[in-house]
Structure 1
Amino acid sequence: MRAVLSAIGISIGIATMIVVTGIPASSQKALDAELTALGTDRLQVVADADAAERGTPASFPESSAAMVERIGAVKAVTAVANTHTLVKRSDRLGPLDDSGLTVLAVRPNLLDVVNATVGSGHYLTKGTQRFPTVVLGSESAARLGFPEIRTGEPPPLVLIADQWFSVTGVLHSVPLAPDVDRAVLVGWDAARRHLGFDGRPTQLFVQADEVHIADVRAVLPATVNPAAPSVVLVSRPSDVLAAKRSAEATFSGLFVGLAGLALLVGGIGVANTMVISVLERRREIGLRRALGANRGQIRGQFLTESVVLSGLGGLTGVAVGILATIGYAAVKDWPAVIPLEAVTGGFAGAALIGVVAGVYPAVRASRLSPTVALATT
């Protein structure tokens, strides 16, 4: 019973270590996902609005997006261009009665790069971007009076540069790109064909590896516009990125502290059990010594018991800790994260604790003389 209770104590300690590392790791994973959605791995590149006054075009070369894609740490890039055209809901409006909205030429991958979603209808595809179709941002849809696109009904029309365009979709609000909310989005090829667009982007959205976000930002101006890097303005990484890295450091310190404490508690339990075992089993030790067991055999017996006790407790604790972490993460709707270091470290730590905690009791047991041990009442 003493051995079983000791193994349970060890398993509780190891399970606690798994739980106190797994639950914060799961919480951190969920937090990372929320912070990443705020743009910690995104950069925005715009042309300097004052460049035109200095005689430099306020736009980038046509190949700028392709050149940015060659940067090793860049995951995705999309180009956006202001077509400098007016959009109206009706041809009955006068030349001064425009909506005040921006008509942007966009690529099909815009939604993925800026974390945008479609509220109704559908976004531009590689096929539809060639035709006179548009997608409205959330604010532009409200201004034009088309809050949603209804399935089965004829698509509404808007007038852009004396050309009618069909509205195929409306976007939800885009926190990472507020300009998109106030824009009418036209396919890149359609803007070339119908709006006289020259193909030069005025804005780039870049998604890069968070670890190298500062390095990517440093090389973007010369990459986007090698001839005039001074006209390239790159937004600095979001302040949320600093908060995210601070949270990661805090969680890492918490993991180490709690894991060490759990292992210490388990080790003390094993050592206490083995020491008491030596005191209570003196007569057994004396009898074995009298029957011919040497000191090495006695040390081996108690050391083996300690390691087996810790190993079984550690294995049980790992299983219980994993199940508890998965269950708690499911309740909180977090992604379940079981740190491999906690699992392997927990089991290996339990075995190591068994060795360390069993050395003194084993040595003490081996030093008892047969006569003294047998005489113990």
Structure 2
Amino acid sequence: MTAPSPLRRTRLRPADLLRLGMIGPRTRRLRTALSALGISLGIAAVIAVTGISASNQAHLLARLDQLGSNLITVAPGKDQNQQTVPLPPTAEKMLANIAPVQQVTATGATKAEVYRNDLVPKEQTGSITVLATRLNLLDVLHATLRSGRWLDGASENLPVTVLGDQAAQRLGVTTPGERVWLGGQWYAVTGILTPNELAPELATAALVGWPQATAHLGADGTAATVYLRSHPERVPDVQAVAGATANPAAPGKVAVSRPSDLLTARNETKGALTGLVLSLAAVALLVGGVGIANTMVVGVMERRGEIGLRRALGARGGQIAAQFLLEAVLMGFIGGIGGLVTGSLTVYGYALVQGWPASIPLYTIATGPAVSVTVAALAGIYPALRAARASPTDALRSA
């Protein structure tokens, strides 16, 4: 008679462990769904809070940039005798070569005067200036027309002008198509600007195409004012080098605008934290974790017979613990995915209603399910250890 071979310990394969872990969620669907819902609400709150905050922030930053938080003006400065030092002819092109600069435009001075007609005395100019202008002026300044149309590639070579709103009022021009006496000849008014807070000097100006002003109105081709749109994060850097770039021979004789209060407001807006709301979302996440822990504890108590039978058949404590811990992780994963979808739909829906650009930080999308799984795993540790320590005889006796 041969001796029986000694029993060997076996390990559960991952597939078997997964099947065991699915027993609880499959057999107790309602309780599993309610527990996952707790985690789902926490993750959805985190996604919604961060997404709505990011969308609101993107909207505010875009509005501040549109208003001019990243706008810098460069103009001729004065020397020690308070005499204006003109910018070099290359200033505009040199400023455009600064890496963070996104857009550049300019206006230039002319020697022309503008009147309502050729009968108005020359001294009655109405303090209206005639400026040469680049075609992209409206784009850079985010300016608009009250009526009419802006200059284009054809009209910048013709005797036509666009008037600022105050200039049109002083000249008595109410609609495009009327004519004014400008530089000793008739010019057709093609458009009238709306007031622009970024460049208030345009309100009292008559704007003429750069080639037309150079050829017929005495403009020397140099810029009187250069407008720069910089990358919002690099405004101070551009401001620091703008003077030396525009006029390398006399950088101290260049007037560079200071960053406006809008830039300060932009930085404060970007740096604002949603700490309070994120705390509320964390509380919701904690509540979901407590719900999973409670579900797992109750599950261990209800399934003592199953635990005792498995232990009696040779299942080790670690295998029992792994089963219950996996159940908790699965509930956390299901809740995390559900929260991610719910939170994302909330953000996109709210942004659509508000007319904001929808923005959900990538780190939130990546960490949301990971956090839910982590919380569920932590919540399931105690119930899993309790199940692992259960004695087979005591478990079967109480079943």
1:129 and 1:250 map into 2 onto residues whose CA distance is 45
Map of 1:114 onto structure 2:
141
Report the CA distance shift for 1:101/1:254 in structure 2 as closer, same or farther (over 3 A): farther
2:139 and 2:344 map into 1 onto residues whose CA distance is 34
Report the CA distance shift for 1:344/1:221 in structure 2 as closer, same or farther (over 3 A): same
Map of 2:20 onto structure 1:
none
Residues 22, 337 of structure 1: 8 Å contact kept? yes
Map of 1:30 onto structure 2:
59
**Residue 166 (structure 1) shift:** 1.4
1:206 and 1:81 map into 2 onto residues whose CA distance is 15
- Structure whose alpha-carbon radius of gyration is higher: 2
Q: Secondary structure at the match of 2:147?
A: strand
C-alpha distance after superposition, 1:220-256 (max 9, x if no partner): 1111011121221111111121122112222364675
Residues 303, 355 of structure 1: 8 Å contact kept? yes
Map of 1:152 onto structure 2:
none
Report the CA distance shift for 1:233/1:254 in structure 2 as closer, same or farther (over 3 A): farther
Indicate yes or no: 2:116 matched with 1:74.
no
Among 13, 28, 31, the residue aligned to 2:42: 13
Map of 1:302 onto structure 2:
324
TM-score, L = length of structure 1: 0.93
2:286 and 2:93 map into 1 onto residues whose CA distance is 56
Q: Identical aligned pairs, as a percentage?
A: 45
Map of 2:7 onto structure 1:
none
1:253 and 1:104 map into 2 onto residues whose CA distance is 50
Among 67, 70, 80, the residue aligned to 1:41: 70
1:207 and 1:228 map into 2 onto residues whose CA distance is 23
Map of 2:21 onto structure 1:
none
Map of 1:366 onto structure 2:
388
Map of 1:314 onto structure 2:
336
C-alpha distance after superposition, 1:7-26 (max 9, x if no partner): 11111111111111111111
**Residue 140 (structure 1) shift:** 1.2
Residues 287, 374 of structure 1: 8 Å contact kept? yes
2:202 and 2:291 map into 1 onto residues whose CA distance is 61
Report the CA distance shift for 1:371/1:10 in structure 2 as closer, same or farther (over 3 A): same
1:32 and 1:262 map into 2 onto residues whose CA distance is 29
Equivalenced residue count is 370
Map of 1:3 onto structure 2:
32
Residues 321, 384 of structure 2: 8 Å contact kept? yes
C-alpha distance after superposition, 1:15-38 (max 9, x if no partner): 111111111111111111221122
Comparing 268-277 with 201-210, which one deviates more in the overlay? 268-277
**Residue 147 (structure 1) shift:** 2.9
Q: Secondary structure at the match of 1:77?
A: strand
Map of 2:85 onto structure 1:
58
Aligned-partner residue type, residue 50 of structure 2: T
Q: Secondary structure at the match of 1:108?
A: coil
CA RMSD of aligned residues (A): 1.8
C-alpha distance after superposition, 1:125-144 (max 9, x if no partner): 12211111111112212222
Aligned-partner residue type, residue 66 of structure 1: K
**Residue 259 (structure 1) shift:** 5.0
Q: Secondary structure at the match of 2:120?
A: coil
Report the CA distance shift for 1:17/1:281 in structure 2 as closer, same or farther (over 3 A): same
Aligned-partner residue type, residue 171 of structure 1: L
Aligned-partner residue type, residue 305 of structure 1: E
**Residue 360 (structure 1) shift:** 2.2
1:219 and 1:147 map into 2 onto residues whose CA distance is 43
Residue correspondence of structure 1 range 255-334 to structure 2 within 5 A: 257-334=279-356
Among 239, 245, 268, the residue aligned to 2:267: 245
Aligned-partner residue type, residue 352 of structure 2: A
Residues 146, 192 of structure 2: 8 Å contact kept? yes
**Residue 85 (structure 1) shift:** 2.5
Map of 2:162 onto structure 1:
135
Aligned-partner residue type, residue 5 of structure 1: L
Comparing 266-275 with 82-91, which one deviates more in the overlay? 266-275
Residue correspondence of structure 1 range 89-168 to structure 2 within 5 A: 89-149=116-176, 155-168=177-190
Map of 1:169 onto structure 2:
191
Structure 1: where are the runs of 5+ without partners?
A: 150-154
Map of 2:238 onto structure 1:
216
Map of 1:189 onto structure 2:
211
**Residue 264 (structure 1) shift:** 2.8
2:103 and 2:276 map into 1 onto residues whose CA distance is 34
2:50 and 2:82 map into 1 onto residues whose CA distance is 57
Q: Secondary structure at the match of 2:102?
A: strand
Residues 295, 367 of structure 1: 8 Å contact kept? yes
Among 367, 372, 375, the residue aligned to 1:350: 372
1:332 and 1:365 map into 2 onto residues whose CA distance is 51
Comparing 267-276 with 360-369, which one deviates more in the overlay? 267-276
**Residue 52 (structure 1) shift:** 9.2
